[in-house]
Structure 1
Amino acid sequence: MLARSLNRAPPGLARIAQHVRPALIHAHFGFDGVEIWHLARRLSIPLLVTLHGSDITTDMAWFAAGRSGRRWKNYPSRLRRLAASPDVTFVAVSGHIRDAAIAVGLPAERIHVRHIGINPDRFIPGPVSPGARPPIILFLGRLVEKKGCRFLIDAFRQVRAALPEARLIVAGDGPERALLEERAALIGNVTFTGAVPRERVIALMGKARVFCLPSVTARSGDAEGLPLVLLEAQASGVPVVTSAR
């Protein structure tokens, strides 16, 4: 299985695949699918590609124009070549992602919706019910355009006007952080934690009265698939406020 965090197929993967002879190669994200397809094809191994969001909702013209970097300029044509192979099957994490894949030309008959889940045993509601906790709003995610954190910060201004002791915790990092911190400084009571390890996510969920993820569609077309953090918040017993998508 490949995940996008690998960025490129690691050295020696071909040798490992030749030795192990897997029945299937599973690539998470279309980006990894196009990277590993040559190996799967050379070894005649079926390829399963899970589409998560940015790999299929982003406007293909955005990639072709080089706006995601030179490396991904040919991603649209590579994805179409990949999809033309009968040995490649796709999984979409939501119906919306499946529709987006069909819209860019992927074969509908080889795209199957499979929702990604979480281990609910790791996210147990805390001893204090959310309604009895201090008024803390939690945002957790990458600080990128599609997460919509700027809208949450703007809305928090109104929350503080009505409830001065309210706090907003922004857990995560990304290219929009400096801009968001500048915006939040004018309001106050906003804490930026940076990226947090898994154990701390659970602890933060236990403090929050409300979890908010105001996802939007980015200018590039990039949109959410199925944010697992929403499921994690629900499993933790925290009320969720999110976009109607």
Structure 2
Amino acid sequence: MTSSPSRPRKTPRVCFLCGNISRSGGTERVATVIAGALAERGFEVSILSLSHGERAVFPLHPTVRLHSLHMERHSANFSDVRVWSRLRRFLKQNGIDRVVDVDMVLSWYSIPASWGTDATVVAWEHFHLFVNVGDWPQRLRRYAGRRLAARSAAAVVTLTEKDRRQYLRRLPGRAPVFAIPNPVTIAHDKRAPLDARLVLAAGRLVPQKGFDLLLEAWAQLSSRRPGWRLRIVGSGPERAVLESQATRLDIALSVDFAPNTTDMASEFQRASIFVFSSRFEGFGLVLVEAKSFGLPVVSFDCDCGPADIVRHEQDGLLAPKEDVGALASALDRLMSDEQERRQFGQIAFEDSRFALRHILSQWERLLA
């Protein structure tokens, strides 16, 4: 008796490969949102972490399965060969059709592991081509992973059109390159009232985010705008340094530091202006989130991200990269003009370019 042929699946099985989905960063938040939205549309979706990852910090669709290779148990003899072997076994055992690397460093693992399986790899860039962070082994793997992806991935996804062009120019290969921005990840329909004298900033407290530059800018204008406060939401190794800087600049009484929170909606609702001071970014998800609440934005025009999100003189103001004086002037302009704040905020709220439904349709076409 011969067995009947298996019934073909209507949609592919998709695996999002992460370092650790239990982290609370923007990358993990976007991955859980996209994974859950695909599951809602009928995709079979799993999230695989290299280490830990037994639980997601952010809400997850109930049908999305979490897995881990638990490489933290092998830290003493961690090796690329061990990761390749474990990942290949997972792909085969679970019948994975598409692997989405949630960081280009992971392409160093996923592409060799996929050889000899039915899985194809989509490499998702979360920085931009000229940014490479981490310790030297991680930087080396990301460098190699990007080049391997350009040659061998089914597709490369960047967050901005500018970075897409950089990939095509600097790393020409067989893989098609698509620019798909990150979507709004906080579901809501209520605008911030913009009635508080509060400027909000948010992000991990590390040098990349430029909060030291923001404090310098705040020191130039806070005395001219009594009653206004700056609130910085985030955790990280630079907190003590930044608090000391605020004291040294004599602005500690008008600056609040709050720890990282999963309830950013409440923070956006209380603010009247959002300020973004990063030295570099791959995108700037928090800008998209702030605008979705109708907050006017002041941002450095760092490489890749802000200029794709903020429409200068329409829903926010862009200052030259790391120009503290220009950032202070832009903040001062919005702090002193309630009518312009509200006008910019209305236009920001109506910007639908980053709505999840628009972004998801692009991912659906790519993975189908």
TM-score higher than 0.5 here? Answer: yes
Q: Which residue of 1 aligns with 2:98?
A: 24
Whole-angstrom distance in 2 between the partners of 1:2 and 1:109: 19
Residue 121 (structure 2) aligns with: 47
Partner of 1:219: none
> For residue 204 of structure 1, what is the amino acid of its counterpart?
E
- Of structures 1 and 2, the larger Rg is shown by 2
Unaligned runs of 5+ in 1: 217-222
Say which SS state the counterpart of residue 146 (structure 2) adopts.
helix
| 1:206-221 equivalence runs, <5 A | 206-216=269-279
Identity of paired residues, percent? 21
Q: How does 1:1-245 map to 2 (within 5 A)?
A: 1-6=16-21, 8=50, 10-11=68-69, 14-53=88-127, 56-58=129-131, 68-85=135-152, 87-102=153-168, 104-107=170-173, 110-119=176-185, 121-122=187-188, 124-126=190-192, 129-130=193-194, 132-133=195-196, 135-186=197-248, 187-188=251-252, 189-197=254-262, 199=263, 201-216=264-279, 223-244=280-301, 245=307
Equivalent pair of 2:105/2:138 in contact (CA under 8 Å)? no
Structure 1 residue 190: Cα displacement: 1.3
Instruction: Name the CA shift for 1:103/1:148 in 2 (closer, same or farther; >3 Å).
Output: farther
In structure 2, relative to structure 1, the CA distance for the partners of 1:228 and 1:71 (3 Å cut) is closer
Q: Offset at 1:102?
A: 3.6
Post-superposition offset of 1:106 = 4.5
* Per-residue CA distance 1:82-101 (angstroms, 9 max, x = gap): 4222x431011101222343
Q: CA RMSD, aligned part only? A: 2.5
- In the superposition, relative to structure 1, how do residues 108 and 45 fare at CA in structure 2: closer, same or farther (>3 Å)? closer
**Which letter maps to 1:49?**
A
Alpha-carbon distance, 1:104 to partner: 4.2
Give the unaligned 5+ runs of structure 2.
Answer: 1-15, 22-48, 52-67, 70-85, 302-306, 308-368
Equivalent residues of 1:52, 1:97 under 8 A apart = no
Cα 1:146–1:205 shift into 2, 3 Å: same
Q: 1:154 to 1:17 in 2, by over 3 A?
A: same
* Number of aligned positions between the proteins: 225
The residue identity in structure 2 corresponding to 1:107 is: G
Are the aligned partners of 2:95 and 2:118 in contact in 1 as well (CA < 8 Å)?
A: no
Cα separation, partners in 2 of 1:211 and 1:123, compared to 1, 3 Å: farther
If asked which structure has higher relative contact order (CA below 8 Å, sep 6+), I would say 1
Instruction: Measure the CA separation in 1 of the matches of 2:189 and 2:245.
Output: 32
TM-score (norm 2): 0.55
Partner of 1:165, secondary structure, is coil
Cα distance change on mapping 1:26 and 1:145 into 2, 3 Å = same
Give, in whole Å, the separation in 2 of the partners of 1:79 and 1:109.
11
Contact 1:102 1:108 in 2 (8 A): no
Residues 23 and 172 (structure 1), Cα distance of their counterparts in 2 relative to 1, 3 Å cut: same
Counterpart contact for 1:8–1:35, Cα < 8 Å: no
Q: 1:158 to 1:94 in 2, by over 3 A?
A: same
The secondary structure found in structure 2 opposite 1:2 is strand
- Going from structure 1 to structure 2, the CA distance change for 1:89 and 1:211 (only over 3 Å counts) comes to same
Rounded to whole Å, the distance in 1 between the matches of 2:281 and 2:290 is 17
